[in-house]
Amino acid sequence: MPEDSKITASPLPHMQRLLEIMAALRNPDGGCPWDLQQTMRSLIPYTLEEAYEVAAAIHSGDVDAIRDELGDLLFQVVFYARLAEEAGDYDFDQVAAAIADKLVRRHPHVFGDAQANDATEVLRQWEQIKRQERAEAATDTSVFADIPQNLPGLLQAMKIQKRCAAVGFDWDNAQQVLAKVGEELDEVTVELEALQVAAVDAEQATIQDRVEDEIGDLLFAVVNLARHAKVNPETALGRANQKFMRRFRQVEALAAAEQRELAEQPLSELELLWQQAKRELS
């Protein structure tokens, strides 16, 4: 019995229709001029934008918006596959086949005889299979081999740390990481104090580089803390951004109600408005 015998194929007429629409858009004879100009590189910004719009729709809880944004993201995949097909590399069916095979291969606890009792064990097994695949492919076998260089910094740090944790290089608990955060914060403080007393521009530039390094280390440690606390740092920062803007909009409203220009207020007055906004929005 094949590993994926639990899966049955079903017709997808709308998927086929989408592929046919994509082919028509890319048809040199009567297709869309904009679509005909696109390359894999030119599509990257649109793909990233669509992924963020999916996330925004999910956060909004609007099921219709989620459906629509997922469709937009799916179209990006179809577009890339069409470009590859035109280049003679592969087509959409081969893309789907590759991910289907990978999912079966990396879920032996579902499609094979392996056991995984919880999500932690699943992730550990997943990383072990990936390491084996890299070794068999005779490519870069480092745990960092396929981490994209252009990932947002927080997500890249999270992925780096997960890879290290998969081979046992990790803190035991969040308290240990919290101590490391404190250590990194102290090192930032030392460099900032040195920057304040630096006498010449050349010395200031050197210390500024060290400040950047130490703040980077601090951010990396905070991501590690988030991971141990089972928090996605990108999501946490996004929530903090939204909370800050919501509160500051209230500060703006409070000032406007009193016909006060924010830019003309001393910091002490702005702080009072900020504390009031926090109380009203808590």
Rounded to 5°, the CA angle 76-81-85 comes to 150
The CA distance from 54 to 66, in Å, is 6
Is 185 within a domain? yes
178 and 260 within one domain: no
Residue 147's domain comprises 116-168
Q: Which residue has the higher pLDDT, 224 or 9?
A: 224
Answer with the one of 114, 131, 146 that is the final residue of a domain.
Answer: 114
Q: Looking at the 3D structure of the chain, how many domains does it have?
A: 4
CATH code: domain of residue 177: 1.10.287.1080
9-23, 67-81, 179-193: lowest mean pLDDT where? Answer: 9-23
Judge residue 226's burial from the number of C-beta atoms within 10 Å of its C-beta, 0-12 exposed, 13-18 middle, 19 or more buried.
buried
The one-letter amino acid code at 11 reads P
The answer to pTM > 0.85 is no
177 and 160 within one domain: no
Is 69 within a domain? yes
Task: For residue range 66-101, list pLDDT tens digits in order.
Answer: 999 999 999 999 999 999 999 999 999 999 999 999
DSSP 12: -
The CA distance from 166 to 25, in Å, is 44
171-178 contact pairs (CB < 8 A, 24+): 171/224, 171/228, 173/228, 174/225, 174/228, 174/229, 177/221, 177/224, 177/225, 177/228, 178/225
